[in-house]
Every structure is written in structure tokens, then in C-alpha cells.
Amino acid sequence: MWSVLKNVPYRRLFAAQIVALIGTGLLTVALGLLAYDLAGSNAGAVLGTALTIKMLGYVGLAPVINALAARWPKKRVLIGADLIRAAMALCLPFITDVWQIYIVIFLLQSASATFTPAFQSLIPTILTQEKDYTRALSLSRLAYDMEALVSPAVAALLLTALSYNNLFLGTVAGFLFSALMVAITVLPRVSASAAPQTSLWHRTTLGARIFWRNRRLRSLLALNLVVAAPTALVLVNTVVYVRDVLHRPDTDLAPALACFGVGSMIVALSAPRVLDRFGDRAVMLSGAAAIPLVLAATAALTLLGAPGSGWWLLVGLWFLLGAANSTILTPSSRLLRDASTEETRPYVFTAQFSLSHACYIVTYPLAGWVGAMAGLGWAAMALTIIAMIGSAGAFLSWPRHHAAAAKEPAEKEQSVEQSTRQRAGSRP
């Protein structure tokens, strides 16, 4: 797996990703504690609202920004987005009211909606061999898991000596380091034809139209809903479980979140071998089957007041949810690569970024507001139902026999784009 790091441009971008995500992990811990300071037991509702605003920025802005920036140099786009994220993170220690959280999070995540799809769409261009790309996806999943493992551990250590507001400075440093790594990396040249000469509306909706025409990508849409359910429960309500239900100290929030990351990391490490043996469909749908079961167990144990409210069972359930999530998230970019060409790849990755985060507009409010008004057990039950709906859609949408035609949708889309540009060029 680690041999892919011999590629110098990818190694630098991977380093940028790791450090930026560690900073983001510090942000997650500090934001939860800031919300608890400002809102007390309603912290889950505050986090749910903040994360919903974040998702609205992702869903509404990502396709438009990608379409506008299609002809801009990728390096400038990435560096500019990192600098904006650093500036917004620097504002967080000075927040005194809940509404200020909402504004800063919207601006910060709007910059992330610019950075992340552009970053992800670069990797298949740098690593053109399938085995290398699969290894890179596993490493990328590991990097995301660092947010839920290493950064919470660092946060727990820092919280023993510092106020949580100082954690936001780590986030600023992470984004600045990411900008530096991008600045010194030689990125591949993208041909001029990779930015279609079509209308802004056409470019904005191109990725979503490719998703709708491809059965495997329609299944991925349903899988995005499955993933959003446990993620919302963990990110929104862990602080409430730890502080209000289990009456444990602030420092226990970090290891609880870390268990979610450990489960994901173990699956990501084994992903290349497992995917080679079983394929994308079997691996991803196994996660889709497991997540509703674990969420249902969480809901039942919370509602019944069984020993499931104890610390060790909580971290065990979080571990299982992280592992099941990773079986879906790690291979997902392989589907995007197979369904796109060099020309359409940025739009497909942006569509996945936007459409996947649209699912959180449903799950974050459910986790936050249902948890605050009706209790954590009912919130977990509502998210179980959401995961079941997504799982059913994924099983029904994904064709069993697709290997021979895996590249066909991408080739068809390329032909469609060429025809569209020809028609556009012929207009007076």
C-alpha cells in the first residue's frame, strides 16, 4: 500500500491532506465543547444546526463553484480555498454567541466545498494505474480516519493543559500547511478540452446528470444516505452521550470519537486485498446491510435503558459503525473514476461531494433536534429508518453484472459532451 508514496506529487498532497484533517479533527472536538459552553444540554441541537448549515453550503455551492472555476488553474483554487479556511478558523476562538458559529462555519465550509472536489479529482490524474489508485483510496480513507483518531488524542492531551479555544489554532496551522504543500507541488497539466465550452448551467448540472444515467452511481447515491445516518449520530450526539448520559469528563469525548475512527481505519488498511478478492459491490453492500443493524441496536439499548448506555458498549458500537462506514466510503471513488473521463471527472467528483452531503441535511437535524426534544434513543431510531431506506435503494439499484460495461457510461458521456460542444460551437 505504501509504495504509492514513491510518487512525489501524490506524497506531498497526501501530507497536506493528513495535516489539514488533523486540524479539522481538532476543530470537531473544540466545536463540540464550544457548543456545550454556549448551549449546555442543547449542544446537540446547536451542532446539528451548524452541521446542517455546513451541508447547505456544500450542496448549494460546490457544483456552482466547480463550474465557475473549471478554467482556473487548479493550484490557485486549492491554495485560495486553504487560505480562506485558515482565516475562518482563526475567528472561532473569539465567538461569544451561537449565531456567530453558524456564520463562520458556513464560510469555512464553503471554502471546503471548493477545495475537496478539486483535490479528489486530481488524484486519478496523478495515479493512472488502477492498483495505485486503489492504494491511494485506502490511504485517503486512513487520512480521514486520522481526524477521528490522532487528532482527538492530540486534543485530549492538549485539553489537560490548555483551553479548548486553543485547539482552533491547530486547525489554522493545518490549513496553512496544506496550502504550502500544494504550492510546492508540481501538478499535472489538464488539457484545455477538460473544461467544456458550454453554459454555466450545463457545467453545474453535468455531474448530477451523469449520476442519474449510471446505475452504479444511482446505487452510490443511496449508499450516501446509509453513511450519513451513523455519521450524524456520532458527530452530533457523542458529546451529549458522554457529558449528559454517561456524566464523563470533557477528555472522554476524544476517545469516544476515536473509536469510530479506529473501526474505519482497520477496514481501510485491508481494503486493497478485500476489494481485489470480492469486488466493489460485495464490499460496499455488506456495509449497507450492517449499518442499520448496529444503529437499531444503539436505539434499542438507549430506549430500554439497558447496560448499552455504559461507556464500553458506547465505544464498541461506535467502532462497528466506523468499520461499516469505511466499507462504503473507501471504494466509492473507484465508481466515480470508472464512470467518468478526464473531461468529466471534476464534475462527477463534485456531484458526489454535493449529493453525498445533501444527505446530511436530513440526518444532522434528525440527530440534533430529535435527540434534544425526544431523547437520544428516538434520534437513533429515526436514523435507523433512514439507513434502512438507503440500504434498500442501494441493493435494488446496483446491477449484479456490470464488469463488462463498467467503462461504457464514461465513454457515452464523453461522446455526449463532444456533441454538445459541437452544437454550441455551431450556434451563431
Task: Report how far residue 347's alpha carbon sits from residue 208's, in angstroms, rounded to the nearest whole number.
Answer: 8
Task: Tally Cβ neighbours within 10 Å of residue 344.
Answer: 24
| One-letter amino acid for residue 177 of the chain | F
Cα–Cα distance for residue pair 3/133, rounded to 1 Å:
11
Do 301 and 293 touch, CB atoms closer than 8 A? no
**11 and 5 Cβ atoms separated by less than 8 Å:** yes
Specify the CATH number for the domain of residue 234. Answer: 1.20.1250.20
Kindly tell me the number of DSSP H helices and DSSP E strands found in the chain: 16, 0
Task: Please give the Cα distance from 202 to 208 (Å, whole number).
Answer: 10
Q: Which domain holds residue 55?
A: 2-191+198-426
Cα–Cα distance, 247 to 65 (Å, whole number) = 44
Domain count, the chain: 1
Which grid cell sits at 27?
476543530
Q: Which of 348, 10, 424, 351 is nearest to 194 (CA)?
A: 348
Select from 29, 32, 60 the least CA-distant residue to 46: 32
Alpha-carbon gap, residue 123 to 136, rounded angstroms: 8
Where would I find the H helices in 92-199? Answer: 98-126, 130-148, 150-159, 167-183
CA 307-309-312 angle, to 5 degrees, is 80
Question: Rg of the chain over CA atoms, in angstroms?
Answer: 21
Q: How many of the other CB atoms lie within 10 Å of CB of 123?
A: 23
User: Which residues touch 90 (CB under 8 Å, ≥6 apart)?
Assistant: 168, 169, 172
Distances from the Cα of 94 to the Cα of 54, 85, 158, angstroms:
19, 16, 19
Q: Quote the CA–CA distance of 399 and 392 in Å, as a whole number.
A: 13
C-alpha cell of residue 255: 476517545
Walking along the chain (428 residues) 10 residues at a time, the average pLDDT comes out as: 78 85 77 77 74 75 72 82 90 83 83 81 80 80 68 72 79 90 80 54 77 88 94 87 78 81 86 86 94 92 66 89 92 84 78 83 86 87 95 90 48 48 44
Nearest of 231, 208, 178 to residue 386 by alpha carbon: 231
Measure the CA–CA gap between 151 and 131, rounded to whole angstroms: 29
Of 355, 364, 362, the closest CA to residue 51 belongs to: 364
Let me know: does 246 contact 311? Beta carbons within 8 Å: yes
d(C-alpha 174, C-alpha 286), whole Å: 34
